[in-house]
């Protein structure tokens, strides 16, 4: 299931996040060579921003499928869908789709818990055709910084890291991903780190307080902070 709790601004946060990452995602799809006729799968597709980028490249001869368990996200994605795109409400670990049906299987921020890693990778590899591509985009908190430094930013970053550790994801899954995929038996691996940035006034300037607010329930239940401290840091 989606690891973050529903909140009034979650659709907007995800839409802004998708726009923030568009340039790098386009670079990823270009490096893979996605083009007309490709069959692509977007696991845990969310609002479908990557799904639509794939569809624009695959064109009418291709077929792009987005899979997600969150109906509210799929409703939004379907409202934005173009031709050659279909959406399926299903678990990324158990899609029910046929073996080897896709040239590209993609996932962004897919590993919501370390316990799911082997199952997710096995499912993704099952769905990719022989010689196909598995492409994963993941985060690493070590590169998250604020200039000039702000004490509330530091507190929120620490809360986010603690929440990710509690969920089993960890703070640096992107750094670990290459090794994890090696352990899973993959050998033809490429690794492309990238940074994105924003400044005050940009839509993504509120990304950190917004995502920590989405983790409010798990953080409070785990005793990693209290409501007053969280509200104070977000406000600051």
The reported pLDDT for the residue numbered 118 is: 84
Percent of the chain exceeding pLDDT 70 equals 93
Average pLDDT, the chain: 89
Least confident segment among 18-22, 91-95, 115-119, 186-190? 115-119
Q: What is the pLDDT of residue 4?
A: 63
pLDDT of 36 reads: 96
Alpha helices in 140-226 (DSSP H): 151-167, 173-183, 207-214, 216-221
pLDDT computed for residue 17 by the predictor: 87
Q: Which position has the higher pLDDT, 93 or 163?
A: 93
What percentage of the chain reaches a pLDDT higher than 90?
55
Alpha carbon distance 152, 61 (integer Å): 50
CB atoms within 10 A of CB 143: 13
- Provide the pLDDT for residue 164: 80
- pLDDT(1) > 80: no
Contacts of 232 (CB under 8 A, 6+ apart): 152
Scanning the structure block, which residue is given the tokens 């985009």?
137
Q: Which tokens hold the place of 78?
A: 């379907």
**Model pTM?**
0.89
Name the residue among 204, 149, 2, 226 with its Cα closest to residue 157: 149
The DSSP letter of residue 97 is: P
Tell me which H or E stretch contains 137.
Answer: strand 128-137
Question: How far is the C-alpha of 17 from the C-alpha of 175, rounded, in Å?
Answer: 21
């Amino acid at each position: 299931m989606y690891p973050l709790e529903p909140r009034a601004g979650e659709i907007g946060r995800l839409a802004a996040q998708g726009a923030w990452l568009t340039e790098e995602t386009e670079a990823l799809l270009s490096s893979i060579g996605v083009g007309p006729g490709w069959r692509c799968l977007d696991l845990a597709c969310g609002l479908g921003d990557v799904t639509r980028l794939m569809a624009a490249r695959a064109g009418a001869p291709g077929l792009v499928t987005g899979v997600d368990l969150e109906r509210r996200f799929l409703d939004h994605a379907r409202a934005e869908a173009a031709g050659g795109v279909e959406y399926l409400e299903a678990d990324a670990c158990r899609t029910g789709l046929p073996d080897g049906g896709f040239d590209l299987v993609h996932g962004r921020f897919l590993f919501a818990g370390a316990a799911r890693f082997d199952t997710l990778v096995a499912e993704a590899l099952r769905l990719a055709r022989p010689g196909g591509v598995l492409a994963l985009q993941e985060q690493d908190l070590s590169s998250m910084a604020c200039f000039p430094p702000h004490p509330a930013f530091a507190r929120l970053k620490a809360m986010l890291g603690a929440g990710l550790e509690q969920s089993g994801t960890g703070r640096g899954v992107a750094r670990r991903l290459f090794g994890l995929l090696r352990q899973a038996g993959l050998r033809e691996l490429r690794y492309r780190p990238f940074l994105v940035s924003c400044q005050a006034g940009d839509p993504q300037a509120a990304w950190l307080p917004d995502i920590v607010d989405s983790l409010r329930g798990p953080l409070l239940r785990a005793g990693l902070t209290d409501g007053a401290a969280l509200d104070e840091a977000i406000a600051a």
